[in-house]
Amino acid sequence: MGVINVTPDSFSDGGKFLKTEFAVSHALELIKQGADIIDIGGESTRPGADVVSVNEEINRVVPVISQLRNLDSKITISIDTSKALVMRAAINAGANFINDVNALQNIGCLETAAQSNLHVCLMHKQGQPKTMQKNPEYEDILTDVMEFFEQRIENCKQANIQDKNIILDPGIGFGKTLEHNLALLKNIKQLKSLGYPILIGVSRKTMIGQILNSEVDDRLYGSLAIAQFAYMQGAEYLRVHDVKATADVLKITQKLM
Ligand code: 8Y4
């Protein structure tokens, strides 16, 4: 899964059109590099980020999704949102995968996912982006995340979301310390015991900076090490910024396994 952010902070200035054009051409490049899914988000989900209005989020992502869908009728387009109205607009524009860091807990999201019959990634997080990294605590991180998944899966079942459409994600960096993140990555096999595919998003994240003492633009090798590790533990989906590098690592790893 290749990441496309359609947010002002990642595309500096330039008009709406330029932002759309840049995002679409970047998506096409990621597809060439081997991405099977393009994850498109219009609200920065990074720690400390501001909240974006529904209309603003729709205005950011819908043009990118429509144009990309016009240029590639086959690629899986993931909408990265926690808002039901954004999900609906994105699906109408051609998105066919839902990536919700709020695990369909907002109003209307369970119903929207059920009606769409699309794959949906349920991500665990503790707290809200603005404050979640301020001293996160758990009694037991693995138990907490597993219980959260079991509860969300139950809610999905009640909403008539098909089992085959559910993907689970422990939410690396979302209300977690380095130790919490490491415990989750080391226990992917346990997470898989719930019976659903696992998605891991760790590309360029803070935990790599904490281990290597590196800034965000110097985290590629660390990202690749974790991508390979997650793959070998059985993660089926990897959300990454550097698609070519990750695809090369996984092709070699596959041959060796
Ligand atoms: C550098 C680069 C520093 C990226 C921080 C970040 C996930 C996700 C995000 C994830 C799923 C991010 C939308 C945060 N992370 N969706 N989204 N799983 N499913 N931060 O781990 O990339 S955004």
Q: Which two tokens stand for residue 257?
A: 């396994």
Any idea which of 121-135, 147-161, 209-223, 233-247 has the lowest mean pLDDT? 121-135
Check if 43 has its Cβ closer than 6 Å to any atom of ligand 1: no
Any idea which of 3-7, 23-27, 240-244 has the lowest mean pLDDT? 3-7
pLDDT at 51: 77
Q: How far apart are CA 119 and CA 130, in angstroms?
A: 28
pLDDT tens, residue by residue, 168-222: 999 999 999 999 999 999 999 999 999 999 999 999 999 999 999 999 999 999 9
Counting from 1 in the atom list of ligand 1, the atom nearest the Cα of 201 is: 21
Q: Name every residue whose Cβ is closer than 8 Å to that of residue 24 and which is 6 or more positions away in sequence.
A: 64, 67, 68, 71
Check if 94 has its Cβ closer than 6 Å to any atom of ligand 1: no
| Residue 205 annotated to the active site | yes
Average pLDDT, the chain: 95
- Give yes or no for residue 143 having a pLDDT over 70: yes
Radius of gyration of the chain (CA): 17
- Give yes or no for residue 13 having a pLDDT over 60: no
pLDDT at 47: 63
Any idea which of 4-8, 89-93, 98-102 has the lowest mean pLDDT? 4-8
- Give yes or no for residue 67 having a pLDDT over 80: yes
Distance 46 CA to ligand 1 centre (A): 7
| Residue 239 annotated to the active site | yes
Give the residue whose CA is nearest to atom 9 of ligand 1: 45
Which phi-psi region, left, alpha or beta, contains residue 33 (left: φ > 0; alpha: ψ -120 to 50)?
Answer: alpha
pLDDT tens, residue by residue, 38-54: 999 999 766 666 778 99
- Give yes or no for residue 5 having a pLDDT over 90: yes
Mean pLDDT across the stretch 90-106? Answer: 98
Q: How far apart are CA 170 and CA 226, in angstroms?
A: 14
Give me the CATH topology for the region 2-256: TIM Barrel (3.20.20)
pLDDT at 48: 65
175, 136 contact by CB (below 8 A): yes
Pocket test for ligand 1, best of 205, 217, 218 (most atoms within 8 A of CB): 205
Helix (H, G, I), strand (E, B) or coil at 45: coil
Check if 69 has its Cβ closer than 6 Å to any atom of ligand 1: no
pLDDT at 39: 98
Pocket test for ligand 1, best of 10, 45, 174 (most atoms within 8 A of CB): 45
Distance 202 CA to ligand 1 centre (A): 7
Main-chain dihedrals φ then ψ at residue 249, nearest 5 degrees: -60, -45
pLDDT at 46: 64
Q: How far apart are CA 111 and CA 118, in angstroms?
A: 12
194, 150 contact by CB (below 8 A): yes
pLDDT at 177: 98
Check if 239 has its Cβ closer than 6 Å to any atom of ligand 1: yes
Domain map of the chain by residue range?
A: 2-256
Q: What Cα–Cα distance (Å) separates residue 156 from each residue in 12, 90, 163, 219?
A: 38, 20, 8, 35
